[in-house]
Amino acid sequence: MNRVIYCIIIVLGSLFLFTANMKAQCGIENKQFQSGEVLNYDLYFKYGIIYKKAGVASLTVTDRMFAEKEAYNLRLTARSTGLIKSFFTVNDTLTSVTTKDLVPLRYNKDAHEDDDHTVERATYTYSDGSVTLRNINKRNGRLRYDTTFVTNNCMYDVISIIYYARTLDFSQMKKGDRKTVSFFAGRRMMNMKIEHQGIESVKANDGREYKCVKLALIGKAAAFEDENEAMKVYLTNDRNRIPVRIESKLKIGTARVVMKNYRGQRN
């Protein structure tokens, strides 16, 4: 079920030292979203050829203060519903805190899945042109891992990478072009490639059809050569870049997230 939550889709404790050098490298001009944006989704599983509704999810953007600076609070909430809930319950909240120009500062995960409660706390520290990320994961109060990554590249988590992808200038990209970013998932650091796969019309659950930029997010573990497509993301081909549909293959089928309504758009 964690892969399903991550594919939404793919869509999320300490004070930090902000250096001018790192902010110049990682800062992004955001013209696509603003505080107050709310995106609501339906979540489906596909077994064989049939999709079954499995839950609901939402992505929200709010303002907050962090280390005495204005910041964004990017939050994903997801919960199971219907038949799925009768044999597997999910109530998850994933939060990414970033600067106003989308430099990641903190990532939190609180996942209640059946009788398990998983807590993950990741902190980003910037210094001398590099970023250090410490990620601590506990399940039911017991430490699972305490991992530290250091890289000279900008690094994103499963929530902030969705908003990063929305800011890309697709007018300067053609089908097949890729953008590579560093990305962490659990105890692994990966090189995530965002591939432009053209323009496609996609129907949402509000009854409307949207012309979308189709992206493939392709993961590659830092120590290995093999690439695996993690998910497909369909963003409206307008100034808002709203994720309309996100798809991911699972071991037992396929997960799909479909937008049902939205409010508070910037454009």
Report residue 225: phi and psi, to 5°: -95, -25
Q: How many folded domains does the chain comprise?
A: 1
Residues 6+ apart with CB under 8 A from 225: none
8 Å CB contact between 155 and 124: yes
pLDDT tens digits for range 213-247: 999 888 755 444 455 667 889 999 999 999 999 88
Residues 172, 163: contact at Cβ < 8 Å?
Answer: no
If you average pLDDT over residues 192-218, what whole number do you get?
A: 93
What is the per-residue pLDDT across 57-89, written as a single tens digit (0 to 9) for each? 999 999 999 999 999 999 999 998 877 777 778
Give the strand pairing for 90-99 and 130-139: unpaired
- Coil vs helix vs strand at 123: strand
Q: Please write the tens of the pLDDT for every residue from 132-158.
A: 999 999 999 999 999 999 999 889 998
Taking residue 75's Cβ as centre, other Cβ atoms within 10 Å add up to 18
Give residue 250's pLDDT. 66
Is residue 217 within 8 A of residue 233, CB to CB? The reply is: yes
Q: What is the DSSP pairing of strand 178-185 with strand 155-156?
A: parallel
Do the beta carbons of residue 143 and residue 36 sit within 8 Å?
Answer: no
Residue whose tokens read 């709310």:
38
Structural domain containing residue 192 = 2-12+15-263
Element (H, E) at 80: strand 69-80
CA distance 266 to 220: 33
pLDDT at 54: 87
Q: What ranges in the chain are assigned the alpha helix state H?
A: 2-6, 20-26, 82-87, 160-166
